[in-house]
Chains A and B, each alone.
Chain A
Amino acid sequence: MTEPSTIDTGTQTSAVLAVDGISKSYADNLVLRGVGLSVRRGEIYGLMGANGAGKSTLIKILSGAEQPDSGRIEVGGQPVTFADPLAAVRRGVGTVHQNPNDGVVLDLTVAENLALDRLNSRSSSIWFSLRRAERDAAEVADALGLQLSRAVMRAPVRQLGVSERQLLVLARALSRKPEILILDEPTSALSTEETGRLFALLRELVAGGATLLYVSHKLSEFDALCDRVGVLRDGAMQGEFRRTAPTPAGLVPTAAPTAAPTAGTAAADRPTGFDWSEVLQALFDRTPAEMRHTESHGTDVVLELTGLQVFDDSPPLELTVRRGEVTVLLGLLGSGKSELLESIFGARPAPAGATLLGQDFAPQHPAEATARGVYLVPESRHEQAIIPGWAIERQLTLPFTRRFSWAGLMNTGREHRAGTDTIERLGIVARTAAASIGTLSGGNQQKVVVGRWLLGTPTLLLLDEPFRGVDINARHDIGDTIRGITAEAAVVVATSDLDEALEVADRIVVLRQGRISADLRFGDAVRSELISAMSPHTSVLLATDDDAPADLVADARAEAGLVGHDPLDLLRSDDHTPGASAAPAAAPTPVPDDDTVDHPADPAEESA
């Protein structure tokens, strides 16, 4: 590994959060080995790390959910110990966890959730007043620039989508006015606009004196936000990297002519914040191989939809899915992609006029779909796929108990062998197939959920957001798995993340409000086109008037410094096309999960 470009432990005097020599082990496993980092006041510190690097353990320790075995935590120069999360909150350390359900009460309304902290406060009246709760909630929501209609205010949180829940959790955390805010992949469920809004808000907070520790795996977000990035690997800090380009506040890429996009290999030339090749080398301990794939073309038609209505008021939709290629359904939250997959799978009213391999297909129940080899990996791993507490092997055989039983009696030996095989085949990091699913990291749990269907005979594999909350390595493994089975089965991946789409797709179908707004081959896919096809998305929390959001969003994004910087805004450069990327020499930068590589080209293309 080359020496990190910049190692900066921060000057002790200005460190508002300093961590030194934190070690933590569970049983005989050392998860953190003397982690040290310091975050200065008013800075946004990015923390990167692959799955199992110790990121989440570190966050748990900093938020008071776990105690370290050794080491010191200093807040504002004073050593602290957090006995529990509340203690951390009292010291001004707020945390937004990755799973939004951890931060909201599902059965309470939006207003009640937002007002929850005030309801808990001793000074509040013992009488519950809906009006006051809604007023309090509006104030809290205001902090995040959310404008809530009365209907939304009174909706139970359970009815909201993941991204709305995420925004709520953020709003709650912000309402406590934390001095240090720890954010664990806060954008994993947010749309571009919401992300832009969030970033603008985070900058405002920092300008107001707050300090942020920002955990993510999206390089573009570090680019857009962070002043420094620390890389955690194997429970130890591998290096800290300082921004090599100006901060994004002043960074609106000029339309400076750039060299041919495929030319440079020097990542530092790019107008992005960090020297990513160095960072990634620290992250992976090697230069990651170019992750781009060669586009393959579909063969025979597996699924044909004619006249499926995703929503009651959307027009009938026509779609043909072929074997031999990965079809990506790209769409923001509310575009109907989950609904479409669930309809095909028989989990909601059956599609009209669908055929599977030329035969009528209208499943009334998932059991009918699975019987014909149509499998769904649902959107929410915990709520929809995993049986809590079950061993890996049992999770795997759940849909196929009949195949693993004789006269009704389970053949546990065969089950265990199947589990062991799957662990090996998918590279699941687990001690044994008999281990509980709870002992696995998120990425590995997701591999189990995907691997479950490989025990069957897939004809059509539907995956809804298969990469959500999954680390980079697991994401590539799952991507490989998905691409690997296209010979046997047609594969449809639904995602709201353009980068993910481009990583696995041979064909990209963009869905907007229940209708197909674009249908492109991977080779023809252009970012700007895909983005405009996805359309400005307004969540129910953000929706105010019909015309307002676009402007608001534009403002928010300009504020966020996202204009022309956010990768989603940028055109994909030519170099991504299969021909170019297939040749290793043409691959300019080793950036696996991000397209920062495309930046140089974009202004040129836009100005051209």
Chain B
Amino acid sequence: MTAGSTLDTRTVGQDRQGPNLVDFFVRYGVLLIFALVLIVFSLVIDNFASMDTVTSILQAQTVAGIAALGMTLTAVVGDLDLSVGAIAGLSVTVAALVMIKYALTGGTAIVACLLTGLAVGCVNASLIVFLNIPPLLATLGTMFTAQGLKRWLVDGQTLVSGMTLPGSDEPMKGKFTSDFAAIDGSRLFGLPYSVYLFLIIAVLMWVFLERTRFGRLFYAVGGNAEAARLAGTRVQRYRFAAYAISGVLAAIAGIVLASRLRQGDVTAGDSTLLDAVAMTLVGYAVLGARKPNAFGTVIGALFIGVVLYGLTRLQMSYYTQDLIKGLVLIFALIISFSLRRRRRRSAPISPVLPAAGSGA
């Protein structure tokens, strides 16, 4: 630059302060308390530190965890996808219909579920991208619709092998195939396949969001869509993709759930939405990210899973689970939003005296 820059006031080491306790807590608070909870449970509960515990917790969180990873992606570009629970539930029903009512193969059921999820995801995306409906409201609409569709498809019944549908004389012959049931039922090195599925999706999502240029652009779209557009990003394509992918992941969650239930439970997936929301939002607080992120969502899933499992082992009633999830969520929200507020939003620019020429 020309002489002008020699006049520039220089910025030096803003932020170069000693370790701030609040900052530290914002960053590591969730992980610390997670570790603390693990230690306390290990001491208090017999046999807590065991493979059984790990398996139970992971398996319990798999369904909502997979849905939460999709929701995380939608949260990155804009808003939470509220239809993930309904899509998972619909997917359970579709699987049951395909295998029980029509007596088709497990593979067909999986494809049908994935297509269903993709279709509902695309409906979400179209409402948001083409019809300009705010994402929360659009997905709320599809949530109701998918839930209603699920009930309507089976006349409000839970599909079980051998049952007779109203208006029909013959009992249904089909049943959940063994390969389909194996998704959540069979184990590899002590863990169900479904847990591996969850972990693989989690790793892929993390790599995608944090390490690829596409993930970067997803975050750009969520951070400032207009700026992203004017930097040449096809914003609408990214928003569309996010909701479509979320629909597919919710369908995968539904497949795992169907494999676990082995019947077309009409209430299946009802709790998935709120669990996924909690996991995603707890994820905001992990490592002080303050934004949706895949690693945080997984930690959120595990944290909630451990707390629920531990307290259940301590004879806490099943009915208190939502209460506990709510408290964990509020705690995480305080960490990510309220504590951070006290911090300076941006370090100020501080000048340094010019080296030369201050003659006065």
Contact = CB atoms under 8 A, between A and B. Distances in A.
Contacts of A285: 7, 354, 357-359
A366 B348 contact: no
B217 A26 contact: no
A366 B1 contact: no
A347 interface: yes
Contact of A31 (B1, B351, B358, B359): B351
A410 B357 contact: no
B7 A57 contact: no
Given A3-B360, A409-B212, A477-B4, A29 B227 contact: no
A30 B14 CA distance: 10
Tell which of A289, A387, A388 has the most Cβ of chain B within 10 Å: A387
B248 to A, nearest CB: 19
A347 B225 CA distance: 13
Contacts of B352: 234
Contacts of B12: 29, 431
Given A51-B9, A370-B232, A401-B217, A28 B3 contact: no
A430 B231 contact: no
B9 A436 contact: no
Contacts of A477: 1-2, 4-5, 8
Given A29-B12, A284-B7, A390 B350 contact: no
Contact of B8 (A25, A238, A473): A473
A452 B12 CA distance: 23
Given A50-B7, A438-B346, A477-B1, A401 B216 contact: yes
A366 B357 contact: no
A427 B352 CA distance: 15
Interface string B1-35: 11111011111111111000000000000000000
A289 B3 contact: yes
Interface stretch (A208-216, A377-385, A583-591): A377-385
A481 B345 CA distance: 30
A389 interface: yes
B212 A366 contact: no
Interface string A405-417: 1001110000000
B137 to A, nearest CB: 16
Which of B2, B348, B351 has the most chain A CB atoms inside 10 A of its CB?
A: B351
Contacts of B10: 429
A285 B349 CA distance: 19
B131 interface: no
Contacts of B291: 389
Given A289-B3, A410-B216, A473-B7, A366 B353 contact: no
What is the size category of the interface that chain A forms with chain B? 35 or more
A438 to B, nearest CB: 3
A234 B348 contact: no
B216 A429 contact: no
Name the residue in A386, A398, A439, A474 with the highest tally of chain B Cβ atoms < 10 Å from its Cβ: A398
B118 interface: no
Contacts of B357: 1, 285-286
A25 B350 CA distance: 8
Most chain A beta-carbon contacts within 10 A, residue among B219, B220, B348, B353: B348
B50 to A, nearest CB: 38
B181 to A, nearest CB: 36
Give the residue among B10, B224, B232 with the most A Cβ atoms within 10 A. B232
Given A27-B15, A405-B213, A52 B349 contact: yes
Contacts of B213: 401-402, 404-405, 408-410
A286 B360 contact: no
Contacts of A394: 216
Interface string A57-87: 1000000000000000000000000000000
A439 B11 contact: yes
Interface in B193-234: 211-214, 216-217, 219-220, 223-224, 226-234
B344 to A, nearest CB: 7
Contacts of A370: 231-232
A27 B346 contact: no
B347 interface: yes
A567 interface: no
Nearest to B10: A429
Most chain-A CB neighbours within 10 Å: which of B2, B13, B359?
A: B2
Nearest to A388: B223
A366 B17 CA distance: 42
B16 A28 contact: yes
Contact of B230 (A27, A233, A366, A410): A366
A384 B212 contact: no
Nearest to A389: B223
Contacts of B17: 27-28
A106 interface: no
Contact of A376 (B5, B230, B344): B230
B255 to A, nearest CB: 27
A388 B35 CA distance: 32
Contacts of A366: 229-232
A355 to B, nearest CB: 21
A30 B350 contact: yes
A439 B227 contact: no
Contacts of B230: 345, 347, 366, 376, 378, 384-385
A365 interface: yes
B13 A431 contact: yes
A54 interface: yes
Contacts of A2: 360
Contacts of A438: 345-347
A440 interface: yes
A31 B2 CA distance: 26
A536 to B, nearest CB: 31
A57 B216 CA distance: 33
Contacts of A54: 351
A380 to B, nearest CB: 9
Most buried by B among A31, A235, A429: A429
B13 A27 contact: yes
A398 B5 contact: no
B5 to A, nearest CB: 4
A53 B3 contact: no
B210 to A, nearest CB: 9
B8 A427 contact: yes
A347 B229 contact: yes
Interface string A7-42: 000000000000000000111111100000000000
A399 interface: yes
Given A387-B227, A409-B212, A439-B347, A234 B7 contact: no
A387 B344 CA distance: 18
Contact of A427 (B1, B228, B229, B351): B1
B14 A386 contact: no
A52 B9 contact: yes
B223 A29 contact: no
B220 to A, nearest CB: 5
A41 to B, nearest CB: 30
Contacts of A376: 230
B63 to A, nearest CB: 29
B7 A367 contact: no
Most buried by A among B7, B16, B229, B349: B349
A247 to B, nearest CB: 28
A217 B344 CA distance: 27
A91 interface: no
Would you list the 7 A-B pairs with minimal beta carbon distance, nearest first? A29-B350, A438-B346, A52-B9, A370-B232, A401-B213, A427-B5, A387-B223
Given A438-B346, A473-B8, 8 more contacts: A27-B15, A234-B354, A284-B7, A285-B7, A345-B230, A473-B4, A476-B4, A477-B1
24 contacts: A2-B360, A26-B344, A52-B11, A234-B353, A285-B7, A285-B359, A286-B357, A345-B230, A347-B229, A366-B229, A366-B232, A367-B234, A384-B230, A385-B231, A404-B213, A405-B212, A410-B211, A427-B8, A430-B11, A438-B347, A439-B346, A444-B349, A473-B5, A474-B8
